[in-house]
Amino acid sequence: MGQSPWRLALRRLRRDRIAVAFGILFAVLALMALAAPLWAEVAGRGPNATNETGQIAADGGAIDVVSLDGVPVGPQWRAEYLLGADANGRDVAVRLLYGARNSLLIGIAAALLTTILATLVGLVAGFYGRWVDAVARSALDVIWAFPVVLLGVALGTALALGGLTVGPIDLAAGSIGISIAVIAVVYVPYMARPIRGEVLALREREFVAAARAQGASGPRTMAGELLPNLAPTVVVLAPLMVANAILLEAALSFLGVGVVPPDPSWGNMIDAGTEKLVTAPHLAIAPGLMLVAAVLALNVFGDGVRDALDRRRGAAWGAERP
């Protein structure tokens, strides 16, 4: 009975048709990424299957998949080589979907990890205050001092050869785990700061004091009183975090410290594509468009989520700093 604050927000979100449409767009892209193996079946080759010397049927005759001077064939608009081939004769459309898998997986996993870490740090620092807060803030300030891409690059470079061992977790060099870990850590201050700020404000509210007067312990108060009221802030930041993580992953892969070729990611596909822009523009345009579509969908949807949850009309953004 009654209308919970969540249900009211959901109703408001549903009325924002544009946000919903873009949210569906992102879901569709994610589904397409999941269906990558299916498409590989249809197209007849895997993402890493090279074909430098092959030929395909076109205009009644046969043309080289990769011409003698290294120019790959453009979009064929049919099952095989739907979007053309790359310099090694691999199917661009298939690689695009497998790349989507990697990029989206890394983006979502990193954002999830960031959210968990940032919520923990922000909650504990804001609630306990004093030295706990001082330590947390200093740590955040230090990470904050590095520009995002540079820190990602620094970490990526450092970990590129030997990998990373944190306690029981062993991440091999060049693995997806490294990308996820690097991106997650880099973005923790971006999320922890607003969360901490929110905790500081909530902490002064009387219902928190009331819970303590009723005998609730510190952790109990954090979980029962603060966390549910933090949820809107977290939910608003989450899509933006995923968008940023995807962009950072692409940037790192573009620079060579993310997903290592031959495994595809939108970033390294754009990197390879920019070298052949003159002769084969489709190589850079295709992954770029898909990347923009995914990120834009998240941003528009995230905007709609914020409008639905954040009663105050213009909470300043903290999250998509370039």
Which amino acid is located at 218 in the chain? G
Binding test (CB under 8 A) with another protein, winner from 17, 145, 167, 169: 145
Size of site (CB under 8 A) for another protein: 86
Does 169 participate in binding another protein (rule CB under 8 A)?
A: no
Among residues 270, 262, 263, which one has the least CA distance to residue 292?
270
Among residues 308, 249, 112, 127, which one has the least CA distance to residue 191?
112
Which amino acid is located at 241 in the chain? M
Candidate segments 43-51, 72-80, 115-123, 201-209, binder of another protein by CB under 8 A: 201-209
Does 100 participate in binding another protein (rule CB under 8 A)?
A: no
Structure tokens of 142?
């230090």
Among residues 189, 196, 194, which one has the least CA distance to residue 146?
189
Does 214 participate in binding another protein (rule CB under 8 A)?
A: yes
Does 211 participate in binding another protein (rule CB under 8 A)?
A: yes
Between 68 and 213, CB nearer to another protein: 213
Distance CA(86)–CA(30), nearest Å, equals: 23
Does 321 participate in binding another protein (rule CB under 8 A)?
A: yes
Question: Least distance from C-beta 232 to another protein, angstroms?
Answer: 9
**Who contacts 73 (Cβ-Cβ below 8 Å, separation ≥6)?**
56, 58, 63, 64, 65, 66, 67, 81, 84, 85
Structure tokens of 301?
């949807």
Does 148 participate in binding another protein (rule CB under 8 A)?
A: yes
Between 116 and 293, CB nearer to another protein: 293
Does 300 participate in binding another protein (rule CB under 8 A)?
A: yes
Candidate segments 48-56, 95-103, 104-112, 280-288, binder of another protein by CB under 8 A: 280-288
Distance CA(121)–CA(46), nearest Å, equals: 43
Which amino acid is located at 92 in the chain? V
Between 65 and 100, CB nearer to another protein: 100
Interface of this chain with another protein, residues 231 to 270, rule: CB under 8 A: 231, 243, 247, 250-251, 254-257, 267, 270
Candidate segments 31-39, 65-73, 107-115, 297-305, binder of another protein by CB under 8 A: 297-305
Candidate segments 50-58, 94-102, 118-126, 221-229, binder of another protein by CB under 8 A: 221-229
> Angle CA(268)–CA(111)–CA(140) in degrees, nearest 5?
105
Question: Which residue is it, tokens 């919520």?
Answer: 119
